[in-house]
Amino acid sequence: MRVVSYQEQCISDYHTGKEISFPRISSAVTVGSYDGVHAGHRKIIGRMVDIASDRHVRSVVVTFEPHPRQVVNRDPGDGIRLLSLLDEKATLIESLGVAWLFVIKFDSVFAAQSSESFIQRVLLDRIGARHVVIGYDHGFGRDRQGGVQTLCRMAGENNFEVTVVDEVRLVSEHFSSTRIRKLLLEGRISEANVFLGAPYLVSGCVVNGAKKGREIGFPTVNIDIGSSLKLLPKFGVYIAETTIDGREYKAMMNIGIRPTLAVDPAPVVEAYILGYSGDLYGRRLTFRLLDRLRDEMRFPSFEALREQLIRDKKVVEQYRK
């Protein structure tokens, strides 16, 4: 999947920043913040990919960076906590078979344009949308004033098609990012994963740590998430997995303050990767959280901590998805 950035009519490669060619050709398109790319989002994106395949056109997901609520939120006390940073979002969207991720720089100027202007200038004139797929409750443009009716009216005027995807529910419960955030903050990772439709991702760059884990036989990688906006689940120890050089490894991930080892109360994310012993400093790793092992605990000694980690490791080794 190609990831491109769009700003003031300029389209560039997201990773290199170099301006690239993005021809206006017939495309199936869907638009949204898609934070978390949860099961409801997956239904919409999957439908768009199927339509693109059937019509032999390009598949494009249009999303925004930063999250629109960071720009237009009028309540400073209602800080957004993101389920997925952009790289994580790209990973999840790519797994659904999308060809292009079109990332629009969202600022106050862009937010002020009408829904009609956005549809015409970006979806039609810049991308070449011939089929637009949206959720039943989608809103876009200034103050989210545009919706299904606006899109359908413009479709009749501009010769493109619209598909509206119905609400997705799980045992009568609505799939929403708000619900998923609540589950994660309660440490209910397996339930959150059901609503997400895939394991929750925690990713970042491997950085130097205090190396205390080596002293008790459990060397860990410390992960710099890179953003305070990323929502981390309730402090504790999690069963996770990661892929390194094409090979999958199980891991024990600790999210919290490490009460037995740390003197700095700042939260950290670290993982013991089972079966891996190479140098990972400076590399970006993505961990998929599968289940929760236990709360963080303060142990009376390093030896007691080591014994608990041995028990944790056995559980992880025996874990089956």
Listed by start position, the domains of the chain span: 2-170, 199-318
The whole-number pLDDT of residue 315 equals 97
The whole-number pLDDT of residue 19 equals 94
The whole-number pLDDT of residue 141 equals 63
Q: Name every residue whose Cβ is closer than 8 Å to that of residue 292 and which is 6 or more positions away in sequence.
A: 187, 188, 189, 190, 233, 234, 236, 237, 238, 239
d(CA 294, CA 238): 7
More confident residue, 248 or 297: 248
Token pair for residue 292? Answer: 């929760």
Q: Would you place residue 167 in the very low, low, confident or very high pLDDT band (cuts 50, 70, 90)?
A: confident
Instruction: Give the pLDDT confidence of 57-105 residue by residue, as tens digits.
Output: 999 999 999 998 888 876 555 678 999 999 999 999 999 999 999 999 9
Q: Would you place residue 145 in the very low, low, confident or very high pLDDT band (cuts 50, 70, 90)?
A: low
Query: Average pLDDT, stretch 220-249?
Result: 96
Q: Is the pTM of this model over 0.85?
A: yes
From first CA to last CA, the distance across the chain in angstroms is 27
Q: Would you place residue 175 in the very low, low, confident or very high pLDDT band (cuts 50, 70, 90)?
A: confident
Residue 273 phi/psi, 5-degree rounding, is -95, 115
Query: Average pLDDT, stretch 226-238?
Result: 95
d(CA 30, CA 44): 8
175 in Cβ contact with 137 (< 8 Å): no
- Do strands 129-135 and 27-31 pair parallel, antiparallel, or not at all (unpaired)? parallel
Q: Would you place residue 143 in the very low, low, confident or very high pLDDT band (cuts 50, 70, 90)?
A: low
Using a pLDDT cut of 70, give the percent of the chain over it.
93
Residue found by looking up tokens 């440490």 in the block:
187
The whole-number pLDDT of residue 32 equals 94
Does residue 298 carry a pLDDT above 90? no
Half-sphere exposure of 141 (CA within 13 A, CB side): 17
Q: Would you place residue 216 in the very low, low, confident or very high pLDDT band (cuts 50, 70, 90)?
A: confident
d(CA 93, CA 197): 12
The whole-number pLDDT of residue 174 equals 73
Q: Would you place residue 288 in the very low, low, confident or very high pLDDT band (cuts 50, 70, 90)?
A: very high
Instruction: Give the pLDDT confidence of 119-131 residue by residue, as tens digits.
Output: 999 999 999 999 9
Instruction: Give the pLDDT confidence of 185-208 residue by residue, as tens digits.
Output: 999 999 999 999 999 999 999 998
The whole-number pLDDT of residue 241 equals 98
How does the average pLDDT of the chain come out, rounded? 91
CATH of domain 199-318: 2.40.30.30
Does residue 251 carry a pLDDT above 90? yes
* CATH, domain 2-170, list 3.40.50.620, 3.30.1360.10, 3.40.50.1780, 3.90.1300.10: 3.40.50.620
